[in-house]
Copies of this chain bind each other. A is one copy, B any other.
């Protein structure tokens, strides 16, 4: 049953997970945030094998997260660049960067590998409310499930009950 795959769940995190998340895919996106890159530049900086890199680039193109471009700036070889959908991943990658800085060191002199500044001051990203712009965290918000999501969860519960019977 295809229904049981991530891309069919009624959940933006599940569907995004299906399209995106793989450690190697993330570092490709990280590199493309700094501008279009040729295959060999990505190969060099990620350390991936050509086969492994090709697989992930093709999947990203298929999901419209990156696009192949040809142009004067890239010479004869084509390059890969982020689409609007891909650029829109910036907040995800930046929050992951900050998490990694905090938890996955050590870093030499406790300095972030890439320092970011905004209007001249050093900063890291934090998440805030799109409505009142105050910082938010998991304890300051409320969540409410929509009806189609509840139905999706009931469906999963039913599938599970059937699996247990077998």
Contacts and interface: CB of A to CB of B under 8 A. Distances in A.
B16 A95 contact: no
Interface in A96-143: 96-105, 107-108, 111-119, 121-138, 140-143
Interface residues of A, number: 94
B30 A11 contact: yes
Task: Count this chain's copies in the assembly.
Answer: 2
A156 to B, nearest CB: 6
Nearest to A111: B146
A119 to B, nearest CB: 7
A114 B156 contact: no
Interface in A13-64: 13-27, 30, 33-34, 43-47
Contacts of A111: 146
Contact of A14 (B9, B27, B133, B138): B27
A75 interface: no
A128 B121 contact: no
A135 B107 CA distance: 27
A102 B87 CA distance: 13
A91 B45 contact: no
A92 B92 contact: yes
A95 B144 CA distance: 17
A144 B115 contact: yes
Nearest to A150: B113
Contacts of A91: 95, 98-99, 125-127
Contacts of A45: 153, 156-157
A9 to B, nearest CB: 8
